[in-house]
Each structure stands twice: as C-alpha cells, then as structure tokens.
Structure 1
Amino acid sequence: MIIFFKKDRLSWEVVDDRAQMLNSDALLELICKIVKKHYDIETLCDPWFIMDRIDEIDYVPKNKAQEKILGIIESLVEYGK
C-alpha cells in the first residue's frame, strides 16, 4: 500500500493541487476500503496493514491476543522475505 502511494507521489500531488472533491487522503482511504473488502488483511504482509493490526491489538480480547500477535509476526516475516 505504501509502495503504491510513494511510487505515484507526483500523481497524488496533481490531484491535491486541483483541489477538487477528492484529494490524496480520500483516495488513500478508498484504496484501503477496496483492499479490506477483497482481501483478508490478517494475512497481508503490507506494512500499512501490519501497523493497523499492531495499533488495534490493545482492543483485542485477551483470549484472542496471542493468535493476533502470532499473525502479525508471520506477516512481518513474510514482509522481510
């Protein structure tokens, strides 16, 4: 996700400069929604979604925390490859 955003940074800046209905922040949110709708973010090794999962770990019930943490570690290992 971040790679996609950084790769096309100039295109995003053009959208921001036009100051129309959408800006780069809105497009990023829309892309996140599309990815979350079509993929299981618990298995993705994208750093953006890994950070989201780490941020949400405080709100996971204790009986599921270990499973979530192991999933995050697996995603980090996969990202490292």
Structure 2
Amino acid sequence: MGMHWAKEHIITAAERNIVKGYEDGTFRPDGKITRSEFAVILGRALNVNLDQSGLSFKAGVSPFLQLLHKERAYSGF
C-alpha cells in the first residue's frame, strides 16, 4: 500500500476483519472489485448472519447479494 491515502482506513478495516486482502497477502486499494467481493465486505461490516438467512450459494451469486435481492434492497445483478 505504501503511502496510499486510505492506508489507515484499510488497516482499521483489516483489524476488524471487514477486509482480508488477496490470497497473496496484498491489498489493492485502487483495484476494481466484483459485486460479490463488495457484498462480502458489506456483509462483514454490517455483521450479517448468513447462516440464518436460509440462502445458499447459486451460480456465483453471493448469499449476501441473494439476501439483498430478497429484501428488495438491491437490483440489477
């Protein structure tokens, strides 16, 4: 991350297990993320309990996105 403007925020989010970075241990703060990756981050930030949602993983759509769609909070995926 070097001197990235969001470095301190990224460290805080990582300490709170909201973001975990990539498998190689890096963070790519200026990289693009997928809808599924965003859904995971948002779910962790909001402490969403997917185990009790009754949703399952289908065709690459994250359970959190399924929950948002079910609650009509998100459309267009």
- Give the TM-score taking structure 1 as reference length: 0.24
Bigger radius of gyration: 1
Higher RCO structure, 1 or 2 (CA under 8 Å, sep 6+):
1
